[in-house]
Amino acid sequence: MLNFNLIDQALKSPLARILSWPHSPESYLEFLAPNVGGRAIKARVKAVNQQTARAVSLVLEPNHRWNSHQAGQYVTLTVSINGRRHSRCFTVSHVEDGCPVVTIQSREGEGDSQITSVSRWANESVWVGDTVEISAGAGDFVLPAKRPEHFLFIAGGSGITPVRALTDELVAEGYTGQIDILYYVPAKVDAIFLRHLEAVTEALPNIRLHLVCTREKAEGTALRGHFSEFHLASIGADLAKSAAYVCGPAALIDAVESHWQQAGHANRLTMERFQAAARPVAVEGDAQPVLFSDSNITSTAPGMTLLEAAEGAGLNPSYGCRQGICRTCTCRKTSGQVRDIRTGEISDAGEEDIAICVSVPVTPVTLAL
């Protein structure tokens, strides 16, 4: 078993710096042992477990730079596909033998967009022993410090991944309040972690699973169709007393959010979006030159975000969620004004760090990229 603290101390020693000159000690270690060395959090794919026909769990064995995470948080997973780095955010769905596990569902019918590349890689090309890069855990889809008497988790499709993480955490601490899980899937075969969830609910009477199939009639499920007030009434949900969490497709989250707002309990709802909401602000007509100053490339890409413009110009900036959440794409804007496509807000003209995946130029912009 490697002692990572000793490795860290050795790498920081003056002798290691002298011997490795002109490179860093970490760069040699990274070359010799890619999943151990380097400054990034590297992880070896320890196991690949098929969950459904379209979803796999990757058990990741991180190096010593990994410092755990909170249940419900996501990590940005970066992989090399055909020589190009791709990043995307995935929730740590559970932990196996101390190793974080990410569960990834492939996204059929969405073409070859870059946002689907990592999902495809995980479902079609990954091998045990591959090395990936992960970020520290991030995100606010976590349990409140003071536990309420009732949790209501609403999930759609792969939105079950943080719900499993939160449920496992509550089970591990011996939570005795009520937990209801309202889980929407097209068909029963699409339900990720179904056996695990059924086993938990059989063992613990305070946890109830309500599986809802939206496209087929399934044995043993009392509800069907998309989220509705009727579903909440059927499971006896009390919005005023529950801490509610929703994660899944945008349509599900929008419907749940609107219901909680109308009921006057929006403050009791925590949301996690996996898919970008539709761009609420029109971006057509924004045809401003963008100078990528580090690369000395100028691009004019009307209607595109700065991330899309950079990619269109042949650059390869890092990105994760592509929806302004993870900050992986953050770059220094040295001049010019940009509009945030989520809010319509226009920035100052001065220097600042911006998330380029949700920024479009409204004046000529210079980006340190």
The span of 66-74, 194-202, 322-330, 333-341 binding ligand FES (CB under 6 A) equals 322-330
Query: Which of 304/355 has CB closer to ligand FES?
Result: 355
Residues 85-104: x where in contact with ligand FES by CB under 6 A, - otherwise, as a string: --------------------
Exposure string over 77-109, b if 16+ CB within 10 A, otherwise e: bbbeeeeeebbbbbbbbbbeeebbbbbbbbbee
Q: CA 313 → CA 40, 109, 348, distances in Å?
A: 27, 27, 25
**Half-sphere exposure of residue 119: CA atoms within 13 angstroms, side-chain side:** 22
277 secondary structure, DSSP code: P
β-bridge pairing 178-185 and 150-156: parallel
* Residue 328 binds ligand FES, judged by CB under 6 A: yes
Query: Which helix (H) or strand (E) is 23 found in, with range?
Result: none
How many other CB atoms are found less than 10 A from the CB of residue 2? 10
Please give the Cα distance from 309 to 49 (Å, whole number): 37
Query: Which of 37/72 has CB closer to ligand FES?
Result: 72
Q: What is the DSSP string of 149-193?
A: SEEEEEEEGGGHHHHHHHHHHHHHTT--SEEEEEEEESSGGG-TT
Q: Which residues contact 161 (CB under 8 A, 6 or more apart)?
A: 90, 91, 93, 102, 103, 192, 247
Query: Which of 253/325 has CB closer to ligand FES?
Result: 325
State the number of binding residues for ligand FES (CB under 6 A).
12
Residues 103-142: x where in contact with ligand FES by CB under 6 A, - otherwise, as a string: ----------------------------------------
* Residue 317 binds ligand FES, judged by CB under 6 A: no
Please give the Cα distance from 298 to 270 (Å, whole number): 41
Q: Which of 320, 333, 336, 367 binds ligand FES (CB under 6 A)?
A: 320
Query: Which of 87/131 has CB closer to ligand FES?
Result: 87
Q: Which of 299, 286, 306 is nearest to 355 (CA)?
A: 306
Please give the Cα distance from 197 to 340 (Å, whole number): 39
* Residue 301 binds ligand FES, judged by CB under 6 A: no
Query: Which of 357/365 has CB closer to ligand FES?
Result: 357
* Residue 327 binds ligand FES, judged by CB under 6 A: yes
Please give the Cα distance from 231 to 154 (Å, whole number): 11
Smallest separation, CB 326 to ligand FES (Å): 4
The span of 122-130, 133-141, 147-155, 321-329 binding ligand FES (CB under 6 A) equals 321-329
* Residue 260 binds ligand FES, judged by CB under 6 A: no
* Residue 333 binds ligand FES, judged by CB under 6 A: no
Q: Which of 154, 321, 338, 365 binds ligand FES (CB under 6 A)?
A: 321
Could you tell me the two tokens for 219?
Answer: 């044995």
Please give the Cα distance from 36 to 41 (Å, whole number): 9
Q: Which of 324, 333, 366, 367 binds ligand FES (CB under 6 A)?
A: 324
Q: Which of 319, 354, 366, 367 binds ligand FES (CB under 6 A)?
A: 319
Smallest separation, CB 318 to ligand FES (Å): 8
* Residue 355 binds ligand FES, judged by CB under 6 A: yes
Smallest separation, CB 321 to ligand FES (Å): 4
Smallest separation, CB 275 to ligand FES (Å): 13
Smallest separation, CB 328 to ligand FES (Å): 5
Can you give the binding site for ligand FES, defined by CB under 6 A?
319-322, 324-329, 355, 357
